[in-house]
């Protein structure tokens, strides 16, 4: 490899020039706000008051980027670049500026001294751009502010995307995170015929903020074992000398892309879709490569001191001089012409048009997004004549709808889950597809195949990362998860919400499909799995995100679930959380009623109310399938015992309607809200999650003080379904008691009712302790 | 290994009997509620109506457990057992019952037929015990309801615990999770001289709920590479035949424990504390081993169908018969005597007393916990004469206190962080300790050593898992983290809160040290790192946990932080979240004032108020260091422009005081609350996090409708510190405007004030866009 020189001296010289230009532009972004070409002596006022952005990883990123460009020019590949290392934007922005894309997308950042000054100044500057490769970065689908998700994003991008290769640079800091550590195994889910390829490039530069990295401090053999253990064939590229590194890197890239090509050719021509040994590059370069080796007598290059800003105090004239010398060591006059534009022979190292990684449409997936061909959800409707008499499992019905979504959209829809699609009763989908699996398959395996539209791995992080990558490259999907364990990806969803928000402000970014999350196996139906599986708090987490994107739906039955699902699959740029039951439950609304109800997001169920046209004594409200059932059961008891109690029954499907219209686009006006909930009547609200959330949504309403919310009070264990609601005072009996206690004119009956409630609860307790299941009157309860 | 028989036939026979007894007791727990010894023909009414618990992993766990017992008996080791696989409690409970511990701790579960019936019935039964090895399980420090944390818990337990070995069984499902995947690397942080040892036992039984596992479907060589890449020497144990497996397992255990012994001897005698090659066992047994091979013609043993309940419908007489036959295949009459007690020769396979893994005090760490020797926090006090004139970095002061905590408690206190201790300005600790690092160390490395009390790995999951394991075995610690990224462990903290809650209900469990989390580098001081680093939502997450454990402290300066830190380090069974600044900030309270203020949790700052003994016009409240500064700055402006406006200034350190006293133990009574916040005056509240939380805490208060909360509105980017508060309307100018708008008698001045505010904000905007930093009047602002 080192004997035969792959690149001519002229090429190496050119590559060095590109690299120097990228490095120069990176340092400029970090340090300067004026005098970008250093055509006058550098003064303190040319520099930024606050120095931000990480130099450490940048020269390596620039080096990798330019060598990927060589591959694209030579092979005409479609490649997307993911920068895993944090604060790596100076490098990526520099490269995209050299490619011209930056100027095309941000015309004020011109290819001259004025533009360069703006490019420099805007970086990590108020009103400018952040130091991560966030949404404003051309070609980026991965901000990487929080570390750990680069590789799962990369794989998400290449599923069902056979022409795309994602070159994913993984920082050795990021490699220590859990989500990254397991995402290497994504290669067991790649079909080399119908999927694209990921080339992981582990950037081993040795240091995090203040510590060395683990992977840089284990033996070479251990590292080889690890990468091979993850199922990759590692190609090592290591040197300090740039010229030699260019040769090695060019050779490594050739090896890697040749192998990818051979794998794909073999799969596509010979229909051999088995798991191949994919290449991975281990790129070991000094941290902060080419910055001063020592500063003030202290080691900087190839050390953690080069991780962020190699030196900061520019009011020290020695440092200012050092900065000038360092930047001039790249010979800017040999890189940029009189006007400040890159010399054409260097610029020509960039690929052309959409082949530039910064202009590849996969990096702005909304451009590629085509709506799903959705079947008419109404045809899956549960038929019924009376409210609450048909029993059905809502998610099983949803599974029929999803089956046909999958059938209609074979290359652009994924149903993902951490091993729970069956448990969540979406099995119908297996009538038309399989689970993707490219590790070993035995003949007795159940619906495993090299190709399919269901993906399952026991890692919520990987599932979420795959889906985000898939959505960001223009496709569609749905993540089904146990409600409690979706908290595992709280932070990822947080970061994705921030990406969506930022992207919505970038003019050239196009909307992408929403992140759809189905939470079945929810808190009330984890009675069998115990306390660890019982938590409704993800709703609260999503509500804290921007109103323009956060949506929470709590369909109480199958027909409302069908409509909500269809709605979510059509939407874009949202985080849709759907909480729905998987257990056999009474069905409430005909499809026509469901449509009317969901269209408003909440509403009075006249058939469960007896306030007909008059002022009610009390409002019984509910959100969620189990609370709806309990609220109806309470209503039925009251109808029987105190038939003259006027109850208005309200069900909420779209939780955001509770907010005011100036807080959330789905929020009701105060007038609408007061018309439903009155301004002074007690509202007993049976809610799926933590009660505090409801109070925080309605605190501005006139009637806020009269809201009494029953929900999850963090009481759980392994018990019966009904006992779960009893433990949390969400059951029909506690609701009845509370309702009665809120209506003044029933003061005389309260003692009687409370005794009835106590008796019922004791009876329940004794029964379940003896028989281990709920009383028949609970299990077989029906609405009238 | 297979030629020379390690165990005699008699031993194998005895081991099989123990194993059969454990398996029998496991199946009994899953299926039966009566007729435990099957001394009458099995009838449907003897079985449970709902069958829960996972059989699949259980026989393997039982097998491993008994072989660990052999090691303990032969070598007198201290070993703790961690069951990673989900729903593995039937096996562990069975083993601890056989050891006698279960009966000692739960005297009603006697060693006879009556006790066995109770043991069976209680499992996954209302009022009974869950199917995970939660807090009620003797010897357990790891519930494992949510998967991924077994190995980091194991390592946490053995740090500074040289005599302990944790045998950590990792399910191959769990092995797919990110947190588990990276926690293998914990071996780079073990000092073989001063720490104990972890023996990972990867239980490769092939299936998750509905899918095979990845690690069971890669090649043998890939698996070897992976384990070696993680830095372990794998020992494979694989067979279907129990007799042969006993021989192999005994041999593997000998090999593993010999190696651990040699490593520790070498380290301890020769002071060789370098990283050795620790052993790991790969235990490959059929899923659901020894259950019926096929049921109704379908493959069950060694297949995913054996993962949970091998067969469920017992109303089918064939299934009922099959269950009886299956249980009888273990020959219960040869295992249990007439009364139902295990025969003595089998029982003797258990170690004695505290050597039983179920009775090891490390499994009930509160027994071992000794209070920290805490220095007097008052000696670190920032001295001041006037409020707000001394500038200090709060966490740097805290670092001095922590330095001495470390010095005083060399073997029982850890300071953990994902590579952020320096960034969080706790550097002073390095005067007395180092960062633990047992991968390669170079001579230029900074405070890395084989021994130390600071632990850093770029994995919030691993940090949290280590700390939990450390606390659960009776020690103390503090986790410092960027506020935004603590969301990464939302779900872990959730699970830990559930553990604490469950443990508090188990009579024999003793309190453990609190989980202390320091969030500096918080939302307002991540102006430089950008939007991805800006999120205060973890507070909301912790508030949703049980009031008895959730504590949120927002000390506004160094002296309050010192006191709060000292308080938290003394506490037990809490989740203490401390949010504090790391940037240079004005200091407000003398230590005496700080003590008085923190003792109440909130209070009026008289020196910032001008309502002296009269009714105020308005209450300016604040919580958090940055909001406090802005609230004071707003107050100062108002004092100047409208000197007759009577302001009461309230600072809140302990957020939970805002709740009512029936909601939270720290909650103020309504009387106390009203005395501070009045019942009708406007309250302008400058809060650190999401405003909705404050509304949800105070919704029951008389004055709730007059609370106007300014906080994080999910607006962020890379900008200046002051611009961060401006973007979110939390700055002094927006506060001034809001305050003025709430006081009726200043209607005439509103236009003037609002113009002043607009001018100030425009001036600010223009300045930062030009200079990239805050105006001098902001940076150098002082309180009077």
| Boundary of a domain, candidates A526, A559, A585 | A585
**Chain A residue numbers touching B442 (CB-CB < 8 A):** 212
My answer on whether A514 and A405 are in the same domain is yes
Give the contacts of B507 (CB within 8 A, at least 6 positions apart): none
Say whether both B580 and B615 belong to one domain.
no
Residues A607 and A581 placed together within one structural domain of the fold: no
Pair A61, A104: CB distance under 8 Å: no
Chains A–B, number of C-beta pairs less than 8 Å apart = 366
Give the mean pLDDT of B625-634: 98
**Interchain proximity B487–A485, CB inside 8 Å:** no
State the nearest Cα–Cα gap between A175 and chain B, in angstroms: 8
Nearest-neighbour CA in chain A from B646: distance (Å)? 26
- With CB atoms and an 8 Å threshold, state whether B180 touches A182: yes
Averaged pLDDT for residues A416-444: 92
* Nearest residue in chain B measured CA to CA from A691: B696
ipTM over 0.90: yes
Q: Do B544 and A537 touch (CB under 8 A)?
A: yes
Contact B131 A530 (CB under 8 A): yes
Does residue A390 lie in a domain region?
Answer: yes
Same domain, A579 and A608: no
CATH number, domain at B459?
3.40.50.970
Reply yes or no on whether the pLDDT at B404 is more than 90.
yes
pLDDT digits (tens, 9 = 90+) for A89-131: 999 999 999 999 999 999 999 999 999 999 999 999 999 998 9
- CB contact under 8 Å between A541 and B490, yes or no, is yes
Integer Rg of chain B from CA: 30
pLDDT at residue A1, as a whole number:
43
Contacts A537 to B, Cβ<8 Å: 494, 541, 544
Structure tokens at B246: 């006993």
Inter-chain residue contact A124 with B218, CB threshold 8 Å: no
Q: For the purposes of burial, counting CB atoms within 10 Å of the CB of B662, is it exposed (0-12), middle (13-18) or buried (19 or more)?
A: exposed
Q: How far apart (Å, rounded) are the C-alpha atoms in residues A746 and A756?
A: 15
How many domains does the structure of chain B reveal?
3
Among the ranges given (A750-754, B163-167, B198-202), the one the predictor scored with the smallest mean pLDDT = A750-754
Q: Residues A526, A426: one domain? A: yes
pLDDT digits (tens, 9 = 90+) for A716-753: 999 999 999 999 999 999 999 999 999 988 888 889 99
Among A641-650, B564-573, B580-589, B744-753, where is mean pLDDT lowest?
B744-753
Q: What is the CATH number of the domain that holds B706?
A: 3.40.50.920
- Best to test chain B binding among A51, A177, A466, A703 (most B CBs inside 10 Å): A177
Task: Provide the pLDDT confidence category of residue B158 given band limits of 50, 70 and 90.
Answer: very high
Min distance B449 CA to chain A CA atoms (Å): 12
Q: What is the dihedral of CA B663, B668, B670, B674, to 10 degrees?
A: -140
A625 with A763, same domain: the answer is yes
CA distance B404 to B612: 41
Probe site for chain B from A489, A685, A772, A773 (most B CB atoms < 10 A): A772
Assigned token pair, B39:
């001394």
Is the pLDDT at A4 greater than 80? The verdict is: no
Query: How many angstroms separate the CA atoms of B668 and A779, rounded?
Result: 42
> Does residue B367 sit within a domain?
no
The residues facing A621 across adjacent strands are A650, A685
Shortest Cα–Cα distance, A85 to chain B (Å): 12
User: Which of A314, A345, A362 delimits the end of a domain?
Assistant: A314
Please say if the pLDDT value at position A2 is more than 80.
no
pLDDT attached to residue B149: 98
pLDDT the model gives residue B1: 43
Choosing among B179, B207, B221, B229, which should be mutated to test the A contact, i.e. which has the most A CBs within 10 A?
B229
Q: Is residue A731 domain-resident?
A: yes
Q: At what angle do helices A490-504 and B490-504 cross, to 10 degrees?
A: 150
The answer, for A549 touching chain B at a CB cutoff of 8 Å, is: no
Instruction: Examine the domain organization and report whether B575 and B623 are in the same domain.
Output: no
More confident residue, A55 or B613: A55
Neighbours of B441 (CB within 10 A): 15
Task: With beta carbons less than 8 A apart as the criterion, state whether B88 and B139 touch.
Answer: no
Q: How far is CA B250 from CA B62, B235, B351, B441, in A?
A: 14, 12, 16, 37
Q: What is the mean pLDDT of residues B283-302?
A: 91
Residue identified by tokens 């109404």 is: A378
The reply to whether A462 falls in a domain is: yes
Give residue B747's pLDDT. Answer: 85
Contacts of A399 in chain B (CB under 8 A): none
B530 CB-near residues (< 8 Å, 6+ apart): A124, A130, A131, A132, A134, A145, B716, B717, B718
Best residue in B45, B146, B211 for a mutation probing chain A (most A CBs within 10 Å) = B211
For residue A434, pLDDT over 50 is answered with yes
Nearest C-alpha of chain A: how many angstroms from B228?
Answer: 6
pLDDT average, residue stretch B583-611: 96
- Between B124, B217, B529, which is nearest A439 by CB? B217
B129 touches chain A (CB under 8 A): yes
Based on the fold, state whether residues B632 and B561 are members of the same structural domain. no
By Cβ distance, the residue of A459, A501, A546 closest to B177 is: A459
Asked whether residue B458 is domain-assigned, the answer is: yes
The pairing of strands A391-393 and A584-586 is antiparallel
A705 belongs to a structural domain: yes
Do the chains contact at A145 and B530, CB–CB below 8 Å?
yes
Same domain for A239 and A283?
yes
pLDDT tens digits, one per residue of B382-400: 999 899 999 999 999 999 9
Contact B714 A773 (CB under 8 A): no
Which of the residue ranges A224-228, A682-686, B742-746 would you say has the lowest mean pLDDT? Answer: B742-746
Query: Does residue A591 lie in a domain region?
Result: no
Please list every residue in chain A whose beta carbon sits closer than 8 Å to the beta carbon of residue B227: 229
What pLDDT sits at residue B107? 97
Q: Is A383 left (phi over 0), alpha (psi -120 to 50) or beta?
A: beta
Contact B457 A176 (CB under 8 A): yes
Sequence-ordered list of residues with C-beta below 8 angstroms from that of A310, at least 6 positions apart, any chain: A55, A288, A291, A292, A295, A300, A301
pLDDT of residue B3 exceeding 70, the answer is no
* Structure confidence at residue A3 (pLDDT): 53
Provide the shortest C-alpha distance from residue A554 to chain B (in Å). Answer: 20
Measured in angstroms, the CA of B359 and the nearest CA of chain A are apart by 24
CB contact under 8 Å between B183 and A178, yes or no, is yes
In angstroms, the Cα distances linking A291 to A307, A325, A582, B191 are 11, 10, 59, 36
- Among A83, A131, A214, the strongest candidate for a mutation testing the B interface, having the largest count of B CBs within 10 A, is A214
Chain B residues in contact with A148 by the CB 8 A cut-off are 178, 488
Tokens for A426, please give them: 């979406």
Average pLDDT, chain B: 96
Q: Residue B706 to residues A53, A248, B618: CA-CA distances in angstroms?
A: 43, 68, 10
Contact A596, A668 (CB under 8 A): no
For residues A137-164, give the mean pLDDT. Answer: 97
Q: Rounded to a whole number, what is the distance in Å from the CA of A320 to chain B's nearest CA?
A: 18
pLDDT at B613: 79
Put simply, the answer to whether A532 touches B134 (Cβ < 8 Å) is yes
pLDDT per residue as tens digits for the range B205-251 = 888 888 899 999 999 999 999 999 999 999 999 998 999 999 999 99
Assess whether pLDDT exceeds 60 at residue A139. Answer: yes
Q: What is the mean pLDDT of residues A218-245?
A: 97
A-facing residues of B in 202-241 (CB < 8 A) are: 208-214, 217-218, 222-231
pLDDT in tens, A366-418: 999 999 999 999 999 999 989 999 999 999 999 999 999 999 999 999 999 99
B10-29: average pLDDT:
97
Percent of chain A whose pLDDT exceeds 90: 90
Q: Are residues A72 and A215 in the same domain?
A: yes
- CB–CB contact B208 A419 (8 Å): yes
What's the per-residue H, E or C state across A243-262? HHHHHHHHHHHHHHHHHHHH
Using CB atoms and an 8 Å cut-off, which of residues 65-124 of chain A contact chain B?
A: 87, 121, 124
B558 and B692 together in one domain: no
**Is A615 a domain residue?**
yes
Is residue B780 pLDDT above 70, yes or no? yes
CA of B378: how far to CAs of A194, A455, B381, B564, B577, in Å? 67, 57, 5, 11, 21
pTM for the full predicted model:
0.97
pLDDT for res A423: 81
DSSP lists the bridge partners of residue A708 as: A684
Percent of chain B with pLDDT over 90: 90
- Whether B371 contacts B91, CB under 8 Å: no
Nearest to A495 among B210, B532, B704 (CB): B532
Do B543 and B612 belong together in one domain?
no
Instruction: Name chain A contacts of B421, Cβ cutoff 8 Å.
Output: 210
HSE toward the beta carbon, residue B380, CA cutoff 13 A: 28
Kindly report the nearest CA distance between residue B24 and chain A, in angstroms.
Answer: 21
pLDDT mean across residues, chain A: 96
Query: What is the C-alpha separation between A353 and A175, in angstroms, rounded?
Result: 33
A509 touches chain B (CB under 8 A): no
> What percentage of chain A has pLDDT greater than the value 70?
99
Owning domain of residue B251: 54-110+125-314
B197 phi and psi, to 5 degrees?
Answer: -130, 150
Q: What gap in Å lies between CA A284 and CA A289, rounded to an integer?
A: 11
- Among chain B residues, the shortest Cα distance to A659 is held by B692
Please name the member of A126, A223, A437 whose beta carbon is closest to the beta carbon of B769. A126
Which of B314, B338, B364 lies at the terminal end of a domain, its last residue?
A: B314
């Amino acid at each position: 490899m080192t004997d035969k020189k792959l690149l001519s001296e002229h090429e190496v010289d050119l590559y060095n020039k590109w690299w120097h230009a990228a490095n120069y532009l990176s340092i400029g972004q970090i340090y300067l706000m004026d005098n970008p070409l250093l055509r006058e002596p550098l003064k303190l006022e040319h520099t930024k008051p606050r120095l931000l952005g990480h130099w450490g990883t940048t020269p390596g990123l620039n080096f990798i980027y330019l060598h990927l460009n060589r591959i694209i020019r030579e092979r005409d590949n479609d490649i997307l670049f993911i920068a895993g290392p944090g604060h790596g934007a100076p490098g990526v922005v520099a490269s995209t500026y050299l490619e011209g894309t930056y100027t095309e997308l941000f015309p004020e950042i011109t290819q001259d001294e004025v533009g360069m000054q703006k490019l420099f100044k805007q970086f990590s500057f108020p009103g400018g751009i952040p130091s991560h490769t966030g949404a404003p970065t051309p070609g980026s689908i991965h901000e990487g502010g929080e570390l750990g998700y680069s590789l799962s994003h990369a794989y998400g991008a290449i599923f069902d995307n056979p022409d795309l290769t994602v070159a994913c640079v993984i920082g050795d800091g990021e490699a220590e995170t859990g989500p990254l550590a397991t995402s290497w195994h994504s290669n067991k889910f790649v079909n080399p015929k119908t999927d694209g390829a990921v080339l992981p490039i582990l950037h081993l530069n040795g240091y995090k903020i203040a510590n060395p990295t683990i992977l840089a401090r284990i033996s070479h053999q251990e590292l080889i074992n690890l990468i091979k253990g993850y199922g990759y064939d590692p190609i090592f590229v290591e040197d300090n000398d740039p010229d030699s590194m260019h040769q090695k890197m060019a050779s490594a890239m050739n090896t890697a892309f040749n192998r990818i090509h051979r794998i794909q050719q073999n799969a596509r021509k010979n229909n051999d879709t088995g798991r191949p040994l994919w290449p991975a590059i281990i790129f070991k370069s000094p941290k902060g490569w080419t910055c001063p080796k020592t500063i003030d007598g202290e080691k900087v290059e190839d050390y953690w001191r080069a991780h962020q800003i190699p030196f900061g105090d520019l009011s020290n004239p020695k440092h200012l001089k050092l900065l000038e010398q360092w930047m001039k060591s790249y010979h800017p006059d040999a890189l940029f012409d009189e006007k400040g534009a890159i010399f054409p022979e260097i610029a020509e190292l960039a690929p052309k048009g959409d082949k530039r990684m910064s202009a590849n449409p996969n990096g702005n997936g909304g451009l590629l997004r085509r709506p799903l061909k959705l079947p008419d959800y109404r045809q899956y409707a549960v038929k019924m004549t009376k409210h609450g008499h048909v029993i059905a499992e809502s998610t099983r019905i949803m599974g029929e709808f999803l089956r046909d979504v999958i059938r209609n959209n074979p290359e652009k829809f994924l149903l993902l889950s951490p091993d729970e699609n069956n448990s969540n009763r979406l099995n119908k989908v297996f009538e038309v597809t399989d689970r993707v699996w490219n590790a070993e398959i035995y003949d007795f395996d159940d619906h495993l195949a090299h190709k399919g539209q269901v993906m399952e791995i026991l890692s919520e992080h990987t599932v979420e990362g795959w889906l985000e990558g898939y959505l960001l490259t223009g496709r569609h999907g749905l993540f089904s998860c146990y409600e409690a364990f979706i908290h595992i990806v709280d932070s990822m969803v947080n970061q994705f919400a921030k990406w969506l928000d930022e992207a919505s402000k970038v003019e050239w970014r196009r909307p992408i499909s929403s992140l759809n999350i189905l939470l079945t196996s929810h808190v009330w139906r984890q009675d069998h799995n115990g306390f660890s599986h019982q938590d409704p708090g993800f709703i609260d987490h999503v509500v804290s995100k921007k109103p323009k994107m956060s949506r929470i739906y709590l369909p109480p039955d199958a027909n409302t679930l069908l409509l909500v699902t269809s709605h979510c699959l059509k939407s874009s740029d949202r985080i849709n959380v759907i909480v729905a039951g998987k257990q056999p439950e009474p069905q409430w609304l005909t499809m026509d009623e469901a449509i009317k109800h969901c269209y408003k997001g909440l509403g009075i169920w006249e058939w469960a109310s007896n306030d007909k046209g008059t002022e009610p004594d009390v409002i019984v409200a509910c959100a969620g399938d189990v609370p709806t059932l309990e609220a109806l059961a309470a209503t039925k008891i009251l109808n029987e015992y105190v038939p003259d109690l006027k109850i208005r029954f309200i069900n909420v499907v779209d939780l955001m309607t509770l907010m005011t219209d100036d807080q959330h686009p789905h929020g009701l006006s105060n007038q609408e809200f007061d018309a439903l909930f009155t301004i002074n009547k007690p509202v007993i609200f049976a809610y799926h999650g933590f009660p505090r959330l409801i109070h925080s949504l309605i605190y501005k309403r006139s009637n806020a003080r009269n809201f009494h919310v029953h929900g999850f009070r963090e009481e759980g264990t392994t018990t019966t379904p009904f006992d779960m609601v009893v433990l949390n005072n969400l059951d029909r009996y506690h609701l009845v008691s509370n309702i009665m206690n809120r209506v003044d004119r029933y003061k005389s009956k309260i003692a009687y009712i409370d005794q009835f409630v106590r008796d019922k609860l004791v009876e329940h307790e004794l029964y379940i302790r003896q028989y281990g299941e709920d009383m028949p009157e609970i299990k077989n309860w029906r609405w009238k």
